[in-house]
């Protein structure tokens, strides 16, 4: 799978097996019921590929860390992404699909975010998250060099950050 980004952050061009899908990234997922439905669709593998955006990844991750321990969330999210990718035709290999370091990085960020905002509903958490720099798709590059993060080793295994420590 190859991803190409234009000059505007609200479009994501996904090129997969010769198909081009343009999907908007404006979706906020700010309601608890909306996030619950998104997680249900993801877990049942019925979520359409065009809805599996960066924000959808974060919203589902937020659901997992809100409903499970950190370790359970990692296992369930890993299993979920791999099987979801298989279901929608995305190959999980050394060139694309599931990425262990990115998944665990984001779950760490989300776990800390939930701990820093006790008593908030899932919808309130999502609204706060998506209106903060902690949801930026470039956030991992503040912690990792591009070489380390996008290495084969980083895709297959958890790698600690090489630029800045995760708290």
What is the distance, to the nearest Å, from the Cα of residue 99 to the centroid of all Cα atoms in its chain? 10
**pLDDT above 50: residue 73:** yes
Residue 131: inside a domain: yes
**Is residue 14, in this structure, part of any structural domain at all?**
no
Q: What is the pLDDT of residue 88?
A: 96
What's the chain's Rg over C-alpha atoms?
15
Single pTM value for the model: 0.83
Q: Is residue 106 part of a domain?
A: yes
The answer to whether residue 116 scores a pLDDT higher than 60 is yes
- Using the predicted structure, report yes or no on whether residue 11 has a pLDDT greater than 80: no
pLDDT for residue 27: 64
pLDDT given for residue 10 in this prediction:
33
Q: How many structural domains are present in the chain?
A: 1
Is pLDDT of 130 > 80?
yes
Residue whose structure tokens are 């990792």: 144
Residue 29: per-residue pLDDT: 84
pLDDT band at 13 (very low <50, low <70, confident <90, very high): very low
Q: Residue 74 domain-assigned?
A: yes
Q: Region 51-67: what's the mean pLDDT?
A: 97
133 assigned to some structural domain:
yes
> For residue 112, what are the domain limits?
28-137
pLDDT at 167: 78
Q: Indicate whether 146 belongs to any domain.
A: no
> Which of 6-15, 51-60, 152-161 is predicted least confidently?
6-15
pLDDT grade for 30, boundaries at 50, 70 and 90 = confident
**Quick check: is 155 in a domain?**
no
DSSP string over the chain: -EEE--SSTTEEEEEETTEEEEEE------SHHHHHHHHHHHHTT-S-GGG--HHHHHHHHHHHHHHS-HHHHHHHHHHHHHHHHHHHT---BTTBS--HHHHHHHHHHHHHHHHHSTT--HHHHHHHHHTSGGG-TTGGGGTS-HHHHTSHHHHHS----SSS---
Residue 1 in any domain: the answer is no
Which position has the token pair 């979920």?
80
pLDDT of residue 24: 41
User: In the chain, what percentage of residues exceed pLDDT 90?
Assistant: 81
């Amino acid at each position: 799978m190859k991803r190409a980004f234009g000059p505007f952050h609200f479009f994501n061009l996904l090129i997969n097996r010769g198909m081009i899908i343009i999907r908007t990234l404006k979706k906020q997922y700010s309601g608890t019921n909306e996030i619950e439905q998104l997680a249900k669709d993801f877990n049942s593998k019925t979520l359409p590929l065009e809805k599996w955006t960066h924000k959808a990844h974060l919203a589902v991750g937020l659901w997992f860390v809100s409903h499970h321990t950190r370790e359970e969330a990692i296992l369930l999210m890993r299993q979920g992404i791999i099987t979801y990718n298989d279901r929608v035709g995305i190959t999980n290999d050394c060139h694309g699909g599931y990425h262990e370091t990115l998944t665990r990085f984001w779950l760490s960020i989300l776990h800390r975010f939930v701990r820093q905002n006790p008593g908030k509903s899932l919808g309130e958490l999502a609204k706060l998250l998506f209106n903060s720099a902690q949801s930026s798709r470039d956030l991992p590059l503040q912690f990792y060099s591009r070489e380390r993060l996008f290495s084969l080793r980083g895709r297959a295994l958890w790698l600690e950050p090489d630029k800045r420590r995760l708290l």
